Structure 1
Amino acid sequence: MNIPLFGRKYTWHRMHHGFASLHKQLDRAISNVHWTRAFPEAVVEVLTRAHSDHHRLILRSSGGYMVAQKRPFQFEAAWFSHQGYEDVVLNAWRQSSGNILESLKHVREASLVFNKEVFGNIGLRKKILGARLRGLERYLEKVDSRRHALLYQELFQEYELVLQQEETLWYQKSREKWIKLGNKNTAFFHTQTVVRRKRNKILGLHLPSGAWCTDGNLLKQEALAYFKSLLGASEATLQVLPPCPISLSLEE
């Protein structure tokens, strides 16, 4: 897969009488799946040309100059695989007195606490459980212990649940709806998530003046100004519909 370019769209210019007449992206960097997973933020920066028709390229494994921003809240479907999460949602929802916005706020806050303190890091839990299972397997090869065999079965069931949660997590992030869950497609979903994030990531923009900008704060201001001008160009008139009469019978 191609590593995205940063800074310019083209890497080669053919000059004609001092003016650029032809632009192409001839030069590129290509990575395989394993390298992309190891360096998900990698970009290829296109530098200024010197004595060649080709721009100089530099591979940055840590990405561009953008500082990571706090992501908005996102519900994780894997939370519902935990037997205690339903009670967390119900208790949080009941904290407000009929206000839907307040109820949603309480659920969001309670979910974040649950994810941090109870659900935990799926990758870390998978690693710890895997290490414990391998240790028990080596022990049971030498000693016939019913207690350790029961412990192994208990941990193995927990390990299977973690694998299911991991697959659900990456399935949701990948947004690949055409492959069904349950076939251990975690690696595929993870790769698709990395590719989608690289494709959607904005490292810089051309300002109205034509200058190339990578400053995060300035990019925020430009994006906000653009959508304000786009959405605030005309005032929309909203018509309030009258209440719909209830015409269904008890049998219906």
Structure 2
Amino acid sequence: MKDHRIDGVRRRMGFLNGFNVTPIGRAGGLSLWWDDTVEVEILFSSKHIIDARMMEKGAHRWVRFTGVYGTSYRYEKVKFWNWMSTYFSPSDMPWLCGGDFNEFLWDSEKAGGSQVLYNRPRYLESCLNSSELLDLDFNGPAFTWRGMRNGSLVEERLDRGLCNRNWQDVWPNTTVTHGTAKEVDCKEVVRKSWVCREDEGAQERWLKKINDCRSQLIRWSQNKFKMRSYQIDYLLEQLGELQKNWGPHREEILEKSRLIDTLWAQEESFWQQRSRVKWLREGYANTKFFHQTTLQRRRRNKVLKIRNSNGDWVENPNQVRRLVDEHFMTSFRSGGGPKLGDNS
């Protein structure tokens, strides 16, 4: 997101002041916002951190705040965390530090995927020791990130809040809360994409909204429906393991089976809709497609044999046609008549 768009969002949220680290292409980008009750001085910034000191107007104490976005690239981690351990020396000011570190601290902060190695590099732990920062712990869900890796669901706690002892002495009740992840629906994607921009003409705004909405819906569709397929594969793998020993796992097996059935029903509904969309898009415009669809329906509806009034099966096409004609001719007479397949 470009700086002018970030500033527009900031102003709509009611923050008068801000500092941005411009993204590189579509990657990265950081932003720190504050209102006019706070005086802020930026100490250092890069694509990974914004380090600042701030003081409430009328107060006489500076505090330090550092926002972090750790590198997610393995080849950058050694260089990045060596720099962090050097730059983040202990501070005499009350210091709050938080963000997405892209590292977990304890082995229990990861679930699923490959096994955590006992001799893995402990970048975050080393940084906390050198800077004398303390983990603030959290309330809420245990993990802040989840995704699929090689067909398995992986969950990790990558986001956290840290503080030093001076901060803890002044504000001992500081807490971190992990919000509940909420699935965004299609309507919400469209609504957010259609936010009005007043800095452009009407035609430019309309074209921008259409393009933004299209790209956001494509991304939403890929994430939502691809994830469901991964979930089914993951649950089936778990179910296979549980069914090796039914006795103690019976309730869990039933619960996972119900969940798989639900996901399968959603997947079936999705593909039925996709098939209908394809027919609407291609049916009349594509003669070959329409012709093949008609032939398929004709084969499905074709009467291959029929039972006559004596209970005998008739398969000859001409005799089948004659029996059908006789049935309807007799049915529409005033006196009625025998029905096809009547053995009496």
Q: TM-score, normalised by structure 1?
A: 0.30
Choose between structure 1 and 2: higher strand proportion: 2
Q: TM-score, normalised by structure 2?
A: 0.23
- Structure of larger gyration radius: 2
Instruction: Tell me which of the two structures has the higher relative contact order, counting C-alpha pairs closer than 8 angstroms and 6 or more residues apart.
Output: 1
